[in-house]
């Protein structure tokens, strides 16, 4: 039975050094994720959006850098098979211990808006020895001012249209009383993409 899921993917090459965020190749990231989804044959449609975080993994020996990630909401024919396929294609690393995350989409506006997010965070990795099972954890904090400035300049350079990608959907202009740029998403028959 088909189900609507939320999917998070960190593709290879989704990292750039501090001060180099403008060099993050969004088109390559989206193309890689689109190709993986297409090869899997397990998603009928999806809305892909860009997430960016500033990761301080210096305690793990992985340094400090920007990380791009693709967040998707879409329909899958088999979530477990999709997850297994993506996990084989994108193995774990020290820097990215969970490159793939899938979960049932809860249908809330907050969940849907995550693919369209405009607030980004700094993730600080730390060793947690306060639990019974010692492990690495991540603390999300606000970006520092220089990081926030770099991010805002890069997002402006990228433009809004490069931050989203549609699979099996196309845009359709509507008059919803919200101005001339209101759109609806409609399913395509062939799984074509529309940016």
Residues 6+ away with beta carbon under 8 Å from 22: 153, 154, 157
The number of domains in the chain is 1
Taking all residues of the chain, what is their mean pLDDT, rounded to a whole number? 87
Using a 10 angstrom Cβ sphere, with 0-12 exposed, 13-18 middle and 19 or more buried, the burial of residue 165 is buried
Question: Would you call 157 helix, strand, or coil by DSSP?
Answer: helix
Q: What's the pLDDT score for residue 81? A: 96
What per-residue confidence (pLDDT) applies to 188? 82
Whether the CB-CB separation of 14 and 36 falls below 8 Å is answered with no
- pLDDT (0 to 100) of residue 177: 67
Q: What letter does residue 100 receive in the DSSP assignment?
A: E
Strands (DSSP E) found in 1-146: 3-9, 15-17, 43-56, 64-76, 100-104, 122-128, 135-141
**How high is the pLDDT of residue 161?**
83
Structure confidence at residue 195 (pLDDT): 46
Task: Look at residue 126 in the predicted model and tell me its pLDDT.
Answer: 83
Report yes or no: 79 and 57 within 8 Å, Cβ to Cβ.
Answer: no
Q: pLDDT under 70 in the chain at which residues?
A: 176-183, 190-195
Residue 80: DSSP 8-state: H
Exposed, middle or buried by CB within 10 Å (0-12, 13-18, 19+), for 162? middle
DSSP single-letter state for residue 59 = G
Whether residue 42 contacts residue 81, with contact meaning beta carbons closer than 8 Å, is answered with yes
pTM of the model: 0.82
d(CA 33, CA 109): 24
Q: Which domain holds residue 23?
A: 3-194
3-class SS of residue 52? strand
């Amino acid at each position: 039975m088909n189900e609507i899921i939320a999917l998070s993917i960190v593709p290879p090459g989704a990292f750039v050094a501090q001060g180099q965020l403008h060099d993050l190749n969004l088109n390559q990231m989206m193309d890689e994720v689109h190709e993986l989804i297409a090869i899997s044959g397990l998603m009928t449609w999806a809305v892909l959006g860009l997430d960016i975080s500033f990761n301080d993994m210096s305690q793990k020996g992985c340094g400090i850098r920007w990380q791009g990630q693709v967040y998707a909401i879409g329909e899958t024919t088999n979530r477990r098979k999709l997850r297994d396929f993506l996990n084989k294609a994108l193995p774990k690393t020290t820097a990215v211990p969970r490159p793939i995350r899938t979960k049932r989409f809860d249908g809330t506006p907050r969940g849907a808006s995550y693919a369209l997010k405009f607030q980004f965070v700094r993730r600080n990795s730390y060793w947690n020895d306060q639990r019974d099972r010692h492990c690495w954890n991540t603390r999300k904090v606000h970006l520092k001012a220089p990081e926030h400035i770099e991010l805002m300049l890069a997002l402006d350079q990228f433009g809004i249209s490069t931050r989203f990608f549609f699979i099996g959907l196309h845009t359709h202009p509507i008059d919803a009383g919200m101005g001339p740029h209101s759109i609806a998403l409609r399913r395509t028959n062939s799984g074509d993409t529309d940016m």
